[in-house]
Amino acid sequence: MNTDKSKFIFVIACFAALAAWPFMAGAYGVDLVTKIMIYAIFALSLELLVGTTGLVCFGQAAFFGIGAYGAVLLSPESGSASLLWLLPACILLAALYALAVGALSLRTKGVYFIMVTLAFAQMAYYVVHDTPLGGGTDGIYLYGKPSFAGLIDLSQGLQLYFFTWLCLLATFVKLAVLLKSRFGRALAGIRVNEQRMRATGFSTYPYKLAAFTVSGGIAGLAGFLFAVKDGYVNPELLSWHLSGAVLIMIILGGLGHLRGALIGAFAFALLQEFFKSESIFGNFARHWHLGLGITIILSVALLPKGLVGLPAQWRDRLLGRSARARGAVGESR
Amino acid sequence: MDFATFLIQCLNSLQYGLLLFLVASGLTLIFGIMGVINLAHGSFYMIGAYMAYALAPFVAATFGGGFFSTLAVGLVLAVLLGYVLEWVFFSYLYEREHLQQVLMTYGLILVFEELRSLLVGDDVHGVKAPDILAGTLPLGELMTYPVYRLFISGVCLLLALGMYLVFTRTRLGMMIRAGSTNREMVQSLGVDISFLYRVVFAAGVAIAVFAGMVAAPVSSVYPGMGNTVLIICFVVVVIGGIGSIRGALVAALLIGFVDTFGKVLLPSAAGVLVYVMMALILLWKPDGLFKAG
């Protein structure tokens, strides 16, 4: 298995590479990676629920969308809002909705929980879809992008890139610290055996609710960045397709590891770009879903632990360990 | 709302609810017995609808038949499809975590949608109801009701009755019921569980495909139709209680009525009503209305 040190080096190398990227890539590359980093933040928020706590939330897009809509609706009609209050306000909005949703839906378990979170996300979706509040199906534009005291101006592609990079780093570090804390250990305990956690004297409900709220806030941060990047929001940001896509990202990357969410977001988005590129596939690029679908099916067949498990799988193959031993190692993640 | 309109809406609700039940019953069986979350189930409905459209010319040319021959050919193909899919893709998934199954069936959705786009294209198509059923029945003085919709309700009811009989009266049904309660026990009692799985899966696929074919003349045939149905069917399965056929029937009818009357009485909130209902029911009964086992 990977040692803690090699994981640490891997993550540092990833962030260093991301920081160096704008100096090598053109405007398109910067824009693409900004988008992927936003997805990575979004995926990290879900990883806290699914991979750490074992709560499969199928309505994560609602928090993402609320953050995005918050950024647009709270901004003044002309001029730009200050980042100083707009960003916390958006995160707070998403976290508040998560608190309300979590308080109710955590009464259910398993597949029922999946569906209740979906139900609440669909409610939020229909509110922005069917009411004039957020421009209905057409969506609305964000004219003045937020700035801060003349120092930060997020309408600049590069500034937005590094601001997103910083947000991703902060989210990653915050979650990494959180998971090492007593709170994080309790969440992992809940995933493995909630009954036993209760028997040891933990009241599990507040822990799960806190995780749910934090996760909603982080998803709101991702949504905020997305709205600022595109300058446009529409109800699709809250649709279950997006909730599904982010779930697919973290499963693809490998559950139970923060870097899995990171890898998954990049793998998913880059695969999409790859199969969509007309220079490689020509006219067939129109049917990019086919390649993506087949890749996903193959990854399930070949990578039972997700992309994160790949190095260990290769090492085991080289060392000739049996599949049984590999399974046993995998269990003790 | 006068009585005739009310009656028409009731018939519509019934027809929609029963159709949902057909698709959802396969989903709840596959989940309840095999423990597989099959996101691709909506795709089978879509495949059925496209079969009704695309197979019709072939069937007419080869067998000289109309709509009903197409239904029969489609059903045979669906059983084959289900059998092969279970064998190739699902049989090695049972030991895996649920989320791995979610990932793979998501991949299958993408593949099915693109294959559909490659084979049939992305246009919206209409399918004609068979001539015998194309007429309308008078309802009241001014209103009429299409015979074909009554036919859908009738066929769905017959199938539901058939399923009920299979479940309660046959040995296979007994094994299926036992399997949804305690898989390991059934296996240790000497039932060939992998064969049972394959049969259940093929039957689930066939029912969903059949529902798609029957629905095609009413709903028309369009890309992405499987995804809409999938989500609503999950709602049905969860409200009814996972693995419970009876629950799926009650929940499907409930959703049929809420959705249809919601669209008439509260058009601005129609989309959200179903989800509000699901949230309320699950907060009241966290395991659905009729939990199996």
Question: What DSSP element (H or E) covers A44?
Answer: helix A27-47
Q: Which of A291, A286, A279 is nearest to B117 (CA)?
A: A286
Q: Which domain holds residue A318?
A: 303-333
Residue A284 shares a structural domain with residue A317: no
Rounded CA gap, B176 and B166, in Å? 10
Residue B239, CB-side half-sphere exposure with 13 Å CA sphere: 27
How confident is the model over A159-214, as pLDDT tens digits?
A: 899 999 999 999 999 999 999 999 999 999 999 999 999 999 889 999 999 999 99
Residue A192 shares a structural domain with residue A231: yes
Q: What is the pTM of this model?
A: 0.84
The predicted model gives A218-237 an average pLDDT of 92
How confident is the model over B44-64, as pLDDT tens digits?
A: 999 999 988 888 888 878 877
CB-defined contacts A:B, below 8 A: 117
Residue A215 shares a structural domain with residue A149: yes
Rounded CA gap, A111 and A95, in Å? 23
Asked if the structure places residue A294 within a domain, the reply is no
Q: Which two tokens stand for residue B78?
A: 């669906």
Residue A255 shares a structural domain with residue A129: yes
What proportion of chain A, given as a percentage, has pLDDT over 70?
94
Interface predicted TM-score (ipTM) of this complex, two decimals? 0.80
Q: Which residue of A has its CA nearest to B236?
A: A115
Residue A219 shares a structural domain with residue A257: yes
pLDDT in the model for residue A183: 93
pLDDT in the model for residue B122: 83
pLDDT in the model for residue A307: 87
Residue A173 shares a structural domain with residue A246: yes
Residue A195 shares a structural domain with residue A309: no
> In B, what residues contact A, Cβ < 8 A?
31, 37, 89, 92-93, 96, 98-100, 102-104, 106-111, 113-115, 117-118, 227, 231, 234-235, 238, 242, 268-269, 271-272, 275-276, 278-279, 282-283, 286-288
Rounded CA gap, A176 and A172, in Å? 6
pLDDT at A38 over 80: yes
Asked if the structure places residue A259 within a domain, the reply is yes
What's the start-to-end Cα distance of chain A, in Å? Answer: 9
Q: B117 to chain A: which residues are within 8 Å by CB?
A: 287
pLDDT at A325 over 60: no
Q: B36 to chain A: which residues are within 8 Å by CB?
A: none
pLDDT in the model for residue A330: 45
Q: Which of B87, B23, B21 is nearest to B226 (CA)?
A: B23
Confidence of residue A1 (pLDDT cuts 50, 70, 90): very low
Residue A65 shares a structural domain with residue A107: yes
CB environment B78-117: b (16+ within 10 A), e (fewer): bbebbbebbeebbeebeeeebbbbbbbbbbbbbbbbbbbe
Rounded CA gap, B30 and B28, in Å? 6
How confident is the model over B138-155, as pLDDT tens digits?
A: 776 777 888 888 899 999
How confident is the model over B104-146, as pLDDT tens digits?
A: 888 898 899 889 988 888 888 888 888 777 778 877 677 788 8
Residue A253 shares a structural domain with residue A176: yes
- Ranges A95-99, B21-25, B71-75, B265-269: which has the least confidence: B265-269
How confident is the model over A107-134, as pLDDT tens digits?
A: 888 878 888 898 889 888 888 887 777 7
Residue A148 shares a structural domain with residue A200: yes
pLDDT in the model for residue A321: 60
Rounded CA gap, A256 and A306, in Å? 10
pLDDT in the model for residue B139: 73
pLDDT at A241 over 70: yes
CATH code where residue A189 lies: 1.10.3470
How confident is the model over B238-249, as pLDDT tens digits?
A: 899 887 888 999
pLDDT in the model for residue A333: 40
How confident is the model over A269-322, as pLDDT tens digits?
A: 999 888 888 777 777 777 888 888 888 888 888 888 888 888 888 888 887 765
pLDDT at B269 over 90: no
pLDDT at B251 over 90: yes
Q: Taking a C-beta distance cutoff of 8 angstroms, is the pair B182, B293 a contact? A: yes
The predicted model gives A2-15 an average pLDDT of 83
Asked if the structure places residue A26 within a domain, the reply is yes
CA distances from B175 to A103, A218, B33, B167, B242 (A): 39, 47, 10, 9, 17
The predicted model gives B67-84 an average pLDDT of 89
Rounded CA gap, B10 and B260, in Å? 8
> In A, what residues contact B, Cβ < 8 A?
50, 56, 104-105, 107-109, 111-112, 115-116, 118-120, 122-123, 126-127, 129-131, 240-241, 244, 247-248, 251-252, 255, 287, 289-290, 292-297, 299-301, 304
What is the length of chain B?
293
pLDDT in the model for residue A332: 41
Interface test with A, best of B89, B109, B114 (most A CBs within 10 A): B114
Count of domains observed in chain A = 2
CA distances from A314 to A309, A311, A318 (A): 9, 5, 6
**β-strand pairing of A152-153 with A147-148:** antiparallel
Asked if the structure places residue A119 within a domain, the reply is yes
pLDDT in the model for residue B241: 87
Residue A310 shares a structural domain with residue A333: yes
pLDDT at A323 over 60: no
pLDDT at B43 over 90: yes
Query: A323: buried, middle or exposed (CB in 10 Å: 19+, 13-18, 0-12)?
Result: exposed
Residue A257 shares a structural domain with residue A203: yes
